[in-house]
Homo-oligomer: A and B are copies of this chain.
Amino acid sequence: MDDIRLARAYLSRVAEPPAVALGLLVGEVGPVRAAELVRAGDVPDAIRDETSARAGHDLAAEDLARAGQAGIRLVVPEDDEWPAWPLLSLDNARARGMRWAAPPLALWVRGPASLDEVMQRSVAIVGARAATPYGEHTASEFAYDLAQQSVTVVSGAAFGIDGAAHRGALAAEGLTVAVLACGADVGYPVAHTALLSRIARAGAIVSEYPPGTTPAKYRFLVRNRLIAALAVGTVVVEAGRRSGARNTASSAAALGKPVLAVPGSVSSPMSQGCHDLIRAATATVATSVPDILEAIGTIGELAERESPPPRPTDGLGPQAIQVHDALHRRTPHTPQHLSHQSGVPLDRVRALLPELELTGLATQTEEGWLSTTA
């Protein structure tokens, strides 16, 4: 097992993810043999293209040691805790031209959570860095409620929505997982170093990149697919028209996973991305945690949704409603008057009034009939 981990650590640094051709080679000959071939440069062009820039740089042992010191372990597909993500696959990557759909070669993980376990009931809550107070409040509330129901909250540890989501889950003493676009030992953003430590205490910090890797724009896009693939479903809380959260949403949708978006003010640019997702039917509407639990149906419980409060007139037919409409609360009316007012025939009015009385909607006085509701 040590040689497998060493080989995957090497490959993890050699190829910039997602590496489709290398992934296929590993699938064919195994990680140890694949590492040998890459080291020797004895690979077809497609793999050379993915690996030649760093093939000579074998830092595997160093990386594993450095990771160990930082409390980071390398989780590999050969481990029990490797997450089940049948949807992120090399077949998809190859057959449908979805390069991003290639699964990671390995994951660097900091924190005690077993990846496989915590992801079985998980929701990604993602959104814009430049979030509004409305968005941060909503992210935090949703995360709090989900964490209280033992749902793991997955996000990207960025400013704005991501941070609010992690904090909400932590406030509920729930599990939360941060997936980074840099090494799991790199505190990015710097202002979130303490937050990341809190996340790693019970949950996990996850990265496809070896220790010390700095974040880069391209890596954020590549990371987003991991968030989408790890969580059972994805909720976009706020997103501008070019937000990376939309990218996460598209990945989740392409993987056939439930995507929800939180509506907001039509004048808020930070809700535009969400409204676009809903309009395009990429996302459904998330206004509450029951909405989310219902969409993430595989989580297994039945979401309780409030139904609108019943009205006393709910079960009445149209003629009964017309007669009831014609009744007054203080001025009693005769059946003749009520018939004329409502347009309902007199004999029907005479039959309906006692029915209304039985359901508490009308009352008879010496001068005529009164309504007993507002």
Q: Residues of A at under 8 Å CB distance from B?
A: 14-16, 48-50, 52-54, 57, 99, 134, 138, 216-219, 241-242, 262-267, 271-272, 275, 278-279, 284-288, 291, 308-309, 311, 313, 318, 321-322, 324-326, 339-340, 342-346, 348-349
Contacts and interface: CB of A to CB of B under 8 A. Distances in A.
Contacts of A264: 263-266
Nearest to A237: B266
B265 A343 contact: no
B345 A52 contact: yes
B340 A54 contact: yes
Contacts of A134: 265
B285 A345 contact: no
B285 A279 contact: yes
A221 to B, nearest CB: 8
Given A263-B263, A263-B275, 5 more contacts: A53-B340, A53-B344, A138-B267, A263-B285, A279-B284
A275 B265 contact: no
Nearest to A336: B53
Contacts of A287: 266, 272, 275
Most buried by B among A218, A286, A345: A218
Contact of A49 (B218, B285, B345): B345
21 contacts: A16-B322, A49-B345, A53-B339, A53-B343, A57-B340, A99-B318, A134-B265, A217-B313, A217-B324, A217-B325, A218-B322, A219-B325, A241-B309, A242-B308, A263-B264, A263-B271, A263-B275, A265-B265, A275-B285, A278-B285, A279-B291
A266 B343 contact: no
A-B pairs, top 8 by smallest CB distance, nearest first, are A16-B343, A263-B263, A241-B308, A216-B325, A266-B287, A53-B339, A52-B345, A279-B285
Contacts of A342: 16, 53
A15 to B, nearest CB: 6
Contacts of A311: 242
A288 B346 CA distance: 50
A181 B120 CA distance: 54
Q: Which of A49, A285, A286, A342 has the most CB of B within 10 A?
A: A285
Contacts of A266: 138, 262-264, 286-288
A345 B53 contact: yes
Nearest to A49: B345
Among A266, A313, A342, max chain B CB count under 10 A is at: A266
Contact of A346 (B52, B217, B326): B52
A279 B242 CA distance: 24
A182 to B, nearest CB: 12
A344 B285 CA distance: 40
A346 B99 contact: no
Contacts of A271: 263
A48 B287 CA distance: 49
Contacts of A219: 325
Contacts of A349: 53
A343 B216 CA distance: 12
A16 B343 CA distance: 5
Contact of A48 (B291, B322, B345): B345
A263 B217 CA distance: 32
